[in-house]
Amino acid sequence: MMAQYQKVKDQYPDAFLFYRLGDFYELFNDDAIKGSQLLELTLTTRNHSSANPIPMCGVPHRAVENYVDILIDKGYKVAICEQMEDPKKAKGMVKRAVTRLITPGTKMDLKGDAAQSNNYLTAVLPVENGFKLAYADLSTGELKVTTLANQGAVLNELINLQTKEIVYEQALPADLVATLNKRNLLLSKQTTQEPQAEIAYLTQELTDAGEKQVVTLLVSYLLTTQKRALAHMQIAQSYELNSYMEIDHNSKANLELMVNMRSGKRQGTLAWLLDATKTAMGSRLLKRWLDRPLINLDEITERQDKVAVLLDHYFERSNLQEELTKVYDLERLAGRVAYGSVNGRDLIQLKTSLNQVPKIKYVLETLEAPVFDQMLAKLDPLADVATLIDQAIVEDAPVSVTDGGVIKVGYNDQLDTYRDAMNNGKEWIAQLQKKEREATGINNLKIGYNHVFGYYIEVTKANIAKLPADRYERKQTLVNAERFSTPELKEKEAIIMEAQEKSTSMEYDLFVAVRDKVKAQIGRLQKLAASLAELDVLQSFAVVSEDYHFVRPKLNQGHELKIKAGRHPVVEKFLGHQEYVPNDVVMDPNTEILLITGPNMSGKSTYMRQLALIAVMAQVGCFVPADSALLPIFDQIFTRIGAADDLVSGESTFMVEMMEANNALQHATPNSLILFDEIGRGTATYDGMALAQAIIEYVHDHVHAKTLFSTHYHELTTLDQRLTQLKNVHVGASEENGELVFLHRVEAGPADKSYGIHVAKLAGLPDSLLKRADTILTKLEGKKATVPTPVSATPEPKLVTEASGQMDLFDPTPTNKPSNTKANRVLKQLKDLDLMGMTPMEVMNQVYQWQRKLR
């Protein structure tokens, strides 16, 4: 047996091999040692007396999926090795073979929150001028392919897709592999298979040779791992990134479209807010729409028209929601049908879903809206499939399809005959029990059944003497009873068991025949699923638009942007509609940059994000949070918001800031939207101001994209005097009795002061520290005239003199006074201090240490 095991294991060295032995799946050797730790199983051994006992652990075959899921979620592969023949009929070793290889990218049964997300497997192929990338969701059959220019685009697409596994044939660039490994993405090598009918069918609409090649690679991997036909996979569709609004993964993270930056969860994101869908497939489609907003005005307008109709028909929309609630995940049900893993309950779910389609069509017809005509034509109720399932499958079907009880009475005459024999046999058994009780005088005599001994007569030991010796044959001895058989019982048992065995076998064959008939209609089923998912997302947009007072935006092909009383939809949900302070965003065709000033915590970042979210919502076809909105169609959104190190790449905050800024400057067009939040704050003050000004000037003179640029460098507010397409705005704040009050209102013109010390007071810093900071601020402001601003042509002054002396800490004018050694040490520490990498408490402790030294 171990020789057979090792032969199979050698074929799958990078996977856990679940080796079927009777009612258990066993793991051996290194798999057992590691698996016992990951799965919290008891580790045992085989061949205890041997010098090299074999480590071993196992799981029950009925519970195997739970253990497989744990390993897959941790990024491992699992090979399932099944017994390929009945052990009772096997001559010698039972034949075994791997029937499927489960990997993070090929997981089919997704439960809970995972069911509302796609599980993508991706293939990457380097070519002469870039890369080809294909991705598929095995559970739904989706298959897409594209061409990418460089490694950055590949990484961005992989992160956007949230892929868990990458298939390759040709070696990928070493630096790309290193990055993928840091992100714990599984890399799987695959050799492209020879051309075959299935691959030719799936690639039939592709004209690019490289795209055909990468899809072939991806499908080859699926065929290799799944070891079965992929009837539900859809014909590969090629797409171009520039056919949609492009948002890189950093910007999506900054805008919290899908994932909350603080919690890492879905709550508090735009996807969470907009998701009032009633089906899992609708929820997945909503995420895909948010991932790729439209740029075609006609397509956007069509979606908006549908949302407007649903918004205006409350009762019809409520009826739609009620019917959609009863629709199960048709995409994944179709996948399980094709995969052969569907059971009776799945088919009942499919029938229930199909029965809602005529009701949904009726509701849409009552709207009398031409915009829904095409969708109505696509809503095929598949009445033939629903009727077949209704005739064949029992309503409360068991999970197992091999133990009987799945097929309805009346569906097949021969099956009914077997069932009658079984039922009559059971009645005969009951009559025999009564007869034997009367014949023996034993009132508690009973006839039972188990899988090992079959039917038996059980008698307590106190009554054994009453049994006739000529008819009763002992079968089993228990502690308090004996079990017997008789010639009559054996004869009837043979008839009953034969009928039961044939009945169970026939039921399974009938179920497979029903499944195959449904499988033949998968194409129709997938088209229906796509239409229902779209309708679900549209009704979701209508619901949230009504609930949160959204309005229909107007889109233009020019560069005019005018939002009246715009709101950040997620922040508003948490604060409440009455508490949230709305703000206008006005940028006529001649205004390209809004330079935003104001204190920290006043709402500058929220103001910037809300514009981006309104743009995304508008271009996916949803209404937007504003009193009115006129927007250009943006081709790209770039953001640099927040101050977080890139721990994966090992980059500092400032480096990340510069890289993200460079990405925008290199790729933005006049039709793009750029959000820069406090660029330059991660370096020295003069460096930061100089960079910030240069970036603003570059955007103004060369990029011409709509740009919101927030800053604490008030010196930059004079730029509006010579940059004609820049305007100053600020977020208002006021002082009342020495306390800072945020108005959260964006007003024209620059802010008059920073209020930094007031914000520090709100954060709870000690009073003594705040007083000292106020003293320093007064001193600095008194000498402000001697400090040149970076917007002038005056060169920055030298801060350090020759070795003979050190300047006063707050005086830019060098002196020749002898240096104090202790003060020099403090100044050097201050110069080298990484403020962006310290917490407020660490800063306070350091200031306290300096104060002690200087005293």
Annotated binding site for ATP, which residues?
A: 598-605
- Calpha distance 727→159 (Å, rounded): 36
**Are the C-beta atoms of residues 92 and 29 closer than 8 Å to each other?**
no
Helix (H) or strand (E) run with residue 566 in it? strand 561-566
Closest CA to 101 of 193, 233, 222: 222
Q: What SS3 class is residue 746? A: strand
Alpha-helical segments (H) within 183-259: 197-202, 209-226, 249-255
**Are the C-beta atoms of residues 760 and 774 closer than 8 Å to each other?**
no
- Calpha distance 126→135 (Å, rounded): 15
- Calpha distance 694→108 (Å, rounded): 51
HEC readout, 636-696:
EEEEECCCCCECCCCECHHHHHHHHHHHHHHHCCCCCEEEEECCCCCCCHHHHHHHHHHHH
Backbone angles phi and psi of 814, in degrees to 5: -60, 150
Helix (H) or strand (E) run with residue 156 in it? helix 151-161
- Calpha distance 69→71 (Å, rounded): 5
Which tokens in the block code for residue 441?
């005088």
**Are the C-beta atoms of residues 751 and 598 closer than 8 Å to each other?**
yes
Residues 6+ apart with CB under 8 A from 665: 695, 698, 699, 703
- Calpha distance 269→267 (Å, rounded): 6
Helix (H) or strand (E) run with residue 386 in it? helix 383-392
**Are the C-beta atoms of residues 415 and 506 closer than 8 Å to each other?**
yes
Strand 15-21: give its sheet, edge to edge: 44-46, 54-60, 24-28, 15-21, 77-83, 96-102
As annotated, the binding site includes 598-605
Within 13 Å of residue 161, how many CA atoms lie on the same side as its CB? Answer: 28
**Are the C-beta atoms of residues 564 and 628 closer than 8 Å to each other?**
yes
The DSSP secondary-structure symbol of 631 reads: E
- Calpha distance 855→853 (Å, rounded): 6
**Are the C-beta atoms of residues 356 and 279 closer than 8 Å to each other?**
no
Distances (CA, A) of 43 to 17, 30, 34: 16, 11, 10
**Are the C-beta atoms of residues 577 and 549 closer than 8 Å to each other?**
yes
In our burial notation (b when 16+ CB lie closer than 10 A, e otherwise), range 719-728 reads bbeebebbbb
Backbone angles phi and psi of 17, in degrees to 5: -100, 110
Distances (CA, A) of 248 to 315, 342, 668: 40, 38, 12
Backbone angles phi and psi of 580, in degrees to 5: -70, 135
Roughly what angle, to the nearest 10 degrees, separates helices 344-367 and 487-519? 40
- Calpha distance 789→450 (Å, rounded): 93
The DSSP secondary-structure symbol of 97 reads: E
Backbone angles phi and psi of 264, in degrees to 5: 75, 10
β 554-556/561-566 pair status? unpaired
Q: What SS3 class is residue 577? A: coil
